[in-house]
Amino acid sequence: MLSKLVIILSDIKIQHTVFALPFAVMSAFLAAGGMPETQKLVWIVVCMVGARSAAMAFNRIMDARFDKANSRTANRALPAGQVDAQSYWFFLIASSLLFVFSAWMLNPLAFYLSPIALVIVFFYSLTKRFTMFCHFWLGLAISVAPVGAWVAIREEISLLSLLLGAAVVFWLIGFDILYACMDVEADRANHLNSIPQRLGVEMALKLAWASHALMVVFLLILCWFSVLLGWLAGVGVALVAGLLVYEHSLVNKDDLSKVNMAFFNVNGVISIGLMAIVIADCIWI
């Protein structure tokens, strides 16, 4: 059983929780007006791990037959036969229960909203079957992180949490479009939808640019409305904008060889770096 768990954790790339987790943490600091209670912060992290693990497990189960037909994803655990579907379903249920229990440990509103959050993060895995706007649904799913963290601290949904959530939506749309450019042929063969598949790589790259520009706009609006954020957060947003420009410089319609570098490395730096700067602005500036 332990060996199967190790395979599943590797397959869902548990380390990539780093993409959404920093936005949940910075939202918690903004909601608390500084350092949140340690216990709440711990349960927020557990919630994040549970929700992402459940969402990724659902994605792997639902997409197993498509993954098998795609050379880039054929070596994933289910299509490669490294683990059985029953084990994945058990992991999915356990992760979902962990998320709901963690939400219950936070406050009643977080608990009541937890099933809705799960529906949102699960639904993304089905969207490529019927709409090219699947990237929006992924962004919406990840935006649950900052909005949920605000609920965890303040037991409310506020304008600031929605602004940070909107920034996350457009951040995810942008880099998911970039990532989907690698699967255009496989998506066409499997009758799956994405913006690159429907509109072509060149147009997709332009829309990814526009989406990331909107992310920067929403971050600036957040800085404007938040009394906790000052010049340091402004510097952070400028650094994010610079990193996004660098990310797009790595990719063009004739050369997608550096998409993985843009997707994993640059976006990891963006999320962790912005979190560190926002926390510093909340506590020390």
Tell me: the pLDDT tens digits for 72-130?
Answer: 889 999 999 999 999 999 999 999 999 999 999 999 999 999 999 999 999 999 999 99
Phi-psi region at 30: left, alpha or beta (left = phi > 0; alpha = psi -120 to 50): alpha
177 band by pLDDT with thresholds 50, 70 and 90: very high
- Per the structure, the count of domains in the chain is 1
Residue 144 has pLDDT above 70, yes or no: yes
pLDDT score of 236 more than 90: yes
Degrees, nearest 5: CA angle 121-77-47: 30
Q: What is the pLDDT of residue 250?
A: 87
SS3 36: coil
253: confidence class by pLDDT, cuts 50, 70, 90 = confident
What DSSP character marks residue 156? S
Question: CA separation (Å) from 131 to 116, 135, 136?
Answer: 21, 9, 10
- pLDDT range class, residue 285, cuts 50, 70, 90: low
Q: How many angstroms separate the CA atoms of 84 and 11, rounded?
A: 13
pLDDT at 222 over 80: yes
Report pLDDT for 63: 94
Rounded to whole angstroms, the Cα distance separating 219 from 166 reads 9
Which residues lie across from 28 on neighbouring strands?
none
Give the mean pLDDT of 61-80: 91
CATH number of the domain within which 242 lies: 1.10.357.140
Confidence band of 201 (pLDDT split at 50, 70, 90): very high
Task: Say yes or no to pLDDT of 265 above 90.
Answer: no
Q: How far apart are CA 2 and CA 91, in angstroms?
A: 12
Domain range for 57: 2-283
Check the CA dihedral 40-43-45-51 and report its sign: negative
**Sequence-distant (≥ 6) Cβ neighbours of residue 239 within 8 angstroms:** 273, 274, 277
The pTM score is 0.93
Nearby residues of 130 by Cβ (< 8 Å), 6 or more positions away: 193
| Mean of pLDDT over the chain | 92
Three-state DSSP at 255 gives: strand
> Is residue 180 scored above 60 in pLDDT?
yes
d(CA 209, CA 246): 11
CA end-to-end span of the chain, whole Å? 49
Q: Which of 137, 14, 119 is nearest to 58 (CA)?
A: 119
Question: In the chain, what percentage of residues exceed pLDDT 90?
Answer: 80
B/e letters for 1-23, b = 16+ CB within 10 Å, e = fewer, are eeebeebbeebbeeeebebbbbb
Mean local confidence (pLDDT), 184-202? 93
